[in-house]
Structure 1
């Protein structure tokens, strides 16, 4: 998972150094945040994401009751509806994984720019 995340980050960074990465994960994936952060750091060594911070946001699962139609969120699967006790629950979400954002390191140079500036055109004479 860390290597797939790194591949997506590298595509998005397009060769620019990365400062921070934010990913959203559904609670049903049961991601161990500390383990993913460590695995990402190992996978990112020597890449544009070397030393980047990884922030993992865990989204709850949404559950809808088939009897009372109440919708609730949970950090895990519930066996019964908290409102009426029915066990006819529909699961919505909770299993998604999305790269939400990539924060890049600001540099004084534009890659590939021989003038070594921020890419601003020269002032007219």
Structure 2
């Protein structure tokens, strides 16, 4: 399954951005040419993230369309199906552009269960009381 390689790349990017904090969710843009689905990437991610700060996190996947250029009629279009035929003439002689990106857009961190300090007196002022 090629999803494992993609899931490992996502985990690496998530861990760098999380900077030691637990992660609940990640939003990823994946090009249509990568041919991944959200259920498959979440299954692979769950396995590669075991024991990491992203264990139990979910990946929200946004598929980025590929640009199709028909060699027969010159028509251009975008599609999330990398095997689409020309929408204008039905031709199958198609060039593609893009659609192979993998971008971590955002992560959602888990809420802290303990924040150090005195919750009654500490108002976040590192200089302390005046």
TM range (shorter): 0.7 to 0.9
How many residue pairs get aligned? The number is: 120
In structure 1, the residue matched to 2:36 is 31
1:61–1:77 CA contact under 8 A, matched in 2: no
The counterpart of 2:10, out of the listed 5, 8, 11, is 5
TM (norm. structure 1) is 0.76
Let me know the Cα RMSD of the aligned residues. 2.5
User: Which range moved further: 87-96 or 3-12?
Assistant: 87-96
TM (norm. structure 2) is 0.74
Separation in 2 of the partners of 1:19 and 1:120?
28
The counterpart of 1:78, out of the listed 77, 84, 98, is 84
The counterpart of 1:99, out of the listed 82, 99, 104, is 104
Change over 3 Å in CA distance of 1:11–1:69 after alignment to 2: same
1:60 matches 2:46: no
Change over 3 Å in CA distance of 1:78–1:118 after alignment to 2: farther
The counterpart of 2:25, out of the listed 20, 23, 38, is 20
Q: SS at 2:78's partner residue?
A: strand
Q: SS at 1:51's partner residue?
A: coil
Runs in 1 of length 4+ with deviation above 6 angstroms? none
- Measured after TM superposition, the shift of residue 85 of structure 1 is 4.3
Which runs of no fewer than 5 residues in structure 1 stay unpaired?
none
Q: SS at 2:27's partner residue?
A: strand
Separation in 2 of the partners of 1:5 and 1:118?
36
